[in-house]
Structure formats: structure tokens, C-alpha cells
Amino acid sequence: MPSSFEPPDFLSLDLSGKPDMSDFVRSKRARHRFTEHSSSDSSGAGTFLVSSVKFRETFGTSLQDQAEIIAKAEGVEPLSVELLARFVPGLGSDGRSATILIVAEWNEASPLIWESIVKKTKKFVDSSTRGASLEDEVCVEMIARELTLPNQEQPVSPWSNWASPKSLNEIPNNVYVSVDYESEESKWPPVVGEMQQLLNRYPHNLHVHMEHNTTMEFHSEFP
């Protein structure tokens, strides 16, 4: 590395030996957390604008390796583990958040197992950066592989090519349940199961459909 290299003013690094996590970062930017429509980016200077590729890879690898170890210990084989700058497109660099992003295959056991993986990984990250005077914390996010796939755009096919009910009589009768967006989806299955058991006692072939949604207030009640 050239002797003239000087870290950016928001970093405090010890390049004399093995990088220590506590020496890592002091960010002057306020942290913004976003849970929807986020994206990721890595520039030539890296997630934290450090042009030293050697240091950047050493820092990122130490977090990524431990996240992978934690996931495998829980029986999950990650498809990828990366340290990225997650952000909402269009809101500028102030919205970027350093994030350990874990991608894996989703299955029925994922809700509880993934929660454990994220908690343990976050605990490791926090303990590794403790004492570094961090203003911005390193987040941990775990998503299904399907959310990383590109969106496909093509000319609209004829309606007859799509698998859909041909008659309203083929659409099942649903009991629609809307819940607040703060409701944890992982806790829905037992609730939906009990509702369905209750409905199965009646000969109407009703099905429960639950989703996040906001309620609508009408000016008058329907009869």
C-alpha cells in the first residue's frame, strides 16, 4: 500500500498489524433504517469507502465467515454471505447502512431457525465492534433466494395462457383477515390453523386468508 495513503476522516484504522474490529469505523453520517425496497451496492472503494482492498477484505471476511459458521451450526447452508451497503434507491448515500446479508433457501422451518441465526450473528457483530465508538451499527439481514432473482419483463401473453379460475364458482370462499404491518408473520400459522379448524366444522368449505393490510373506514356500513 502506498505510504501516502490516508484513511478517510470517518475511519480510524490500525494498519500496522492484524486489523482489530474495535479500530474499525467512526461514521459521521446519521443512520437510517429501511425495511422495504432496499438495495445494495459496492463501489471501487468498497462498502466503507476504504481504498485498501486488503484491509477491506480482511474486515468483511471476518464477519462473513462467522455468520456462515453460525448458519451452518443451525443446519442452514447459506447460498451467500456478504458485507454490503444496503440502501433505498433514490435517497442518496446518507441512507446507506452497513449490513451482513445472508441468502439461503426458504422452507417451513425457516421462521424460527432464521430468527436464531440473525440474533446470534448480530450478537457476534456487536461484540466485535464494541468499544469502537460507533455511530452507525452493522446490521444483519437474512433473505430467501427468490428475493435476489431479477424481475423478468416480456410482452404480455394471452389471458388464456395463464392458470386461473375460469369461473367464479371455482374460486374458494375465503374468510379474509387483515392484520397490522407490525404483526410478525412467523406467528400466524397456529392462529390460522385454529381458525381453519373452526371453519371445518361447518359445511361451507371456507378457507382462511390472512395478510398484512390496513383497514378501511367506510362512511356507511354495508347491510
pLDDT at 122: 93
Strand (E) or helix (H) holding 168:
none
User: Are 142 and 176 part of one and the same domain?
Assistant: no
Amino acid letter for position 167 = S
The residue written with cell numbers 383477515 in the block is: 177
pTM, whole model, 2 decimals?
A: 0.47
Cα separation, 213 vs 125, whole angstroms:
34
Report the number of distinct structural domains present in the chain: 2
Q: Is residue 86 part of a domain?
A: yes
Q: Parallel, antiparallel, or unpaired: how do β-strands 139-144 and 39-41 relate?
A: unpaired
User: Are 36 and 117 part of one and the same domain?
Assistant: yes
pLDDT at 62: 84
pLDDT at 199: 94
pLDDT at 164: 65
Q: What is the DSSP string of 129-153?
A: HTTS--SSPPEEEEEEGGGGSPPP-
User: Are 82 and 128 part of one and the same domain?
Assistant: yes
Q: Is residue 166 part of a domain?
A: no
Q: Which three cell numbers stand for residue 216?
A: 378501511
Q: Is residue 161 part of a domain?
A: no
pLDDT at 221: 52
Q: Are 14 and 20 in contact (CB under 8 A)?
A: yes
Cα separation, 40 vs 216, whole angstroms:
35
Query: Residue 113: helix, strand or coil by DSSP?
Result: helix
Give the range of the structural domain holding residue 133, as residue numbers without chain letter. 21-147
pLDDT at 129: 74
- State the Cα torsion 149-142-137-29 to the nearest 10°: 20
- The tens-digit pLDDT sequence of the chain (223 residues) is 443 333 333 333 333 333 333 333 333 333 333 334 444 444 343 444 444 445 456 666 888 999 999 999 999 999 999 988 887 776 666 667 888 999 999 999 999 999 999 999 999 988 887 765 555 778 899 999 988 887 767 777 776 766 666 666 777 788 989 888 888 888 999 999 999 999 999 988 899 999 988 766 555 555 4
- State the Cα torsion 78-24-50-61 to the nearest 10°: -20
> Helix 53-73 vs helix 110-129: angle between axes, to the nearest 10 degrees?
140
CATH at residue 129: 3.30.300
pLDDT at 73: 94
User: Are 47 and 119 part of one and the same domain?
Assistant: yes
Long-range own/partner contacts, residues 112-115 (CB < 8 A, 24 or more apart): 112/186, 113/74, 113/75, 113/76, 114/76, 114/142, 115/186
pLDDT at 17: 37
pLDDT at 83: 87
User: Are 132 and 79 part of one and the same domain?
Assistant: yes
What are the backbone angles phi and psi of residue 210, rounded to the nearest 5°?
A: -120, 135
User: Are 80 and 134 part of one and the same domain?
Assistant: yes
